[in-house]
Amino acid sequence: MNEISNHQQAIDLLQQLGLKEYEARCFVALARLPKGTAKEISETSEVPRTRVYDAIRVLETKGLVEIQHSNPQQFRAVPIEEAAETLRQEYESRTDTLVEALTAIEPAESNGGDEEITHEVWALSGTTAITNRTQQLIDAAGREIVFIVGREDVVTDELLEQLQEALDTGLDVLIGTQTEDLREQVAEALPDANVFVSGLEWLHSSPLEVDDDTTISRLLLIDKNTILVSSVHETATGEIETEKAVFGRGFDNGIVVIARRLMATGLQPADDPETPDDD
């Protein structure tokens, strides 16, 4: 059962990377064979023999298949690592081209005139999208980053590396964790950051007596202007549903002051860059 699942998953992923179904089926078939004729590929992949040649021709053009001009012709897939790198480069090339094309498109005229937007709130879904937005906001920081970690798996090597880069540029970085163990891990990785155990116990559950399995995943405040809050919901079977987030910028000073005070709960005053020095 697992073998069938892996087989179909490989075909599906290859299609997501740009191959058509018959091309993906032929490549997966060849990945299972040291080499094969069109007849053997057809039998293994369940692709009509007359369509195998067209699929192989495309795979050869993409650098995924080698051909031996014998009688009958023999075909074999390039090594899996090589194929993955070829597909990755093509995917990245298409992404770069897409960015260039979208950037070059002239913006449509807006009926809103030149009125400045002072406050906006947007929603995002999906861990990948939220992680990318988190990284983008951190990259744009100019003075201070306050990051409260609600779930341990939010802390990745990429995030730690990015926060270290922020520290290297002289930014204040404050990180709140839910456990002492995680605090120690983050503090060891980022010795120049202010890392503390957050006093926001309600991040993991509602303070009210209700059946609420929503967990705050991350809280981020950038330069006392931009806020991102994400959460996940745990089902009755223990599965984590899609992470969802809201983020906004241009908040008035009162809201930001309150948000920052809440997020700094648990941080010793002496470690808070906002605490004035005693003269």
pLDDT at 262: 75
**Is 206 within 8 Å of 91 (Cβ atoms)?**
no
Q: pLDDT tens for residues 18-27?
A: 899 999 999 9
pLDDT at 110: 58
- Find, among 134, 276, 271, the residue nearest to 195 by Cα: 271
pLDDT at 145: 95
Residue 167: give its domain's CATH number.
Answer: 3.30.870.10
* DSSP secondary structure, 6-45, as one string: HHHHHHHHHHHTT--HHHHHHHHHHHHSSSB-HHHHHHHH
Tokens representing 25 are 């089926």
pLDDT above 70: percentage of residues in the chain: 82
C-alpha 115/C-alpha 202 separation (Å) is 39
- Find, among 223, 225, 273, the residue nearest to 253 by Cα: 225
pTM for the predicted model, two decimal places? 0.67
- Residues 57 and 172 reside in one and the same domain: no
C-alpha 243/C-alpha 230 separation (Å) is 7
- Asked if the structure places residue 162 within a domain, the reply is yes
pLDDT at 112: 54
C-alpha R_g of the chain: 26
- Residues 48 and 144 reside in one and the same domain: no
Classify 91 in phi/psi space as left (phi over 0), alpha (psi -120 to 50) or beta.
alpha
pLDDT at 167: 95
- Residues 128 and 250 reside in one and the same domain: yes
Tokens representing 251 are 């908040």
Q: Report the b/e string of 242-252 with b at 16+ CB within 10 A.
A: ebbbebbbebe
- Asked if the structure places residue 227 within a domain, the reply is yes
- Asked if the structure places residue 211 within a domain, the reply is yes
- Residues 261 and 144 reside in one and the same domain: yes
- Residues 128 and 231 reside in one and the same domain: yes
- Asked if the structure places residue 105 within a domain, the reply is no
pLDDT at 252: 61
- Asked if the structure places residue 113 within a domain, the reply is no
Residues of the chain with pLDDT under 50: 1, 117, 209, 279
pLDDT at 107: 77
C-alpha 39/C-alpha 170 separation (Å) is 64
- Residues 129 and 256 reside in one and the same domain: yes
- Residues 91 and 195 reside in one and the same domain: no
- Residues 54 and 164 reside in one and the same domain: no
CB atoms within 10 A of CB 45: 23
Beta bridge partners, 74, equal 68
Q: How many folded domains does the chain comprise?
A: 2
Report the sign of the C-alpha dihedral through residues 149, 152, 154, 158, in that order. positive
- Find, among 122, 125, 171, 181, the residue nearest to 149 by Cα: 181
* DSSP secondary structure, 204-255, as one string: SS-SSSS---EEEEEEEEETTTEEEEEEEEB-TTS-B---EEEEEE---HHH
**Is 151 within 8 Å of 215 (Cβ atoms)?**
yes
pLDDT at 188: 95
pLDDT at 111: 58
**Sequence-separated (6 or more) residues with CB below 8 Å from residue 48:** 42
pLDDT at 173: 94
- Residues 144 and 263 reside in one and the same domain: yes
Q: How many Cα atoms are found within 13 Å in the side-chain-facing hemisphere of 154?
A: 29
CB atoms within 10 A of CB 20: 13
- Asked if the structure places residue 114 within a domain, the reply is no
**Is 200 within 8 Å of 180 (Cβ atoms)?**
no
Q: pLDDT tens for residues 136-181?
A: 999 999 999 999 998 888 999 999 999 999 999 999 999 999 889 9
**Sequence-separated (6 or more) residues with CB below 8 Å from residue 13:** none
Q: Which domain holds residue 44?
A: 2-98
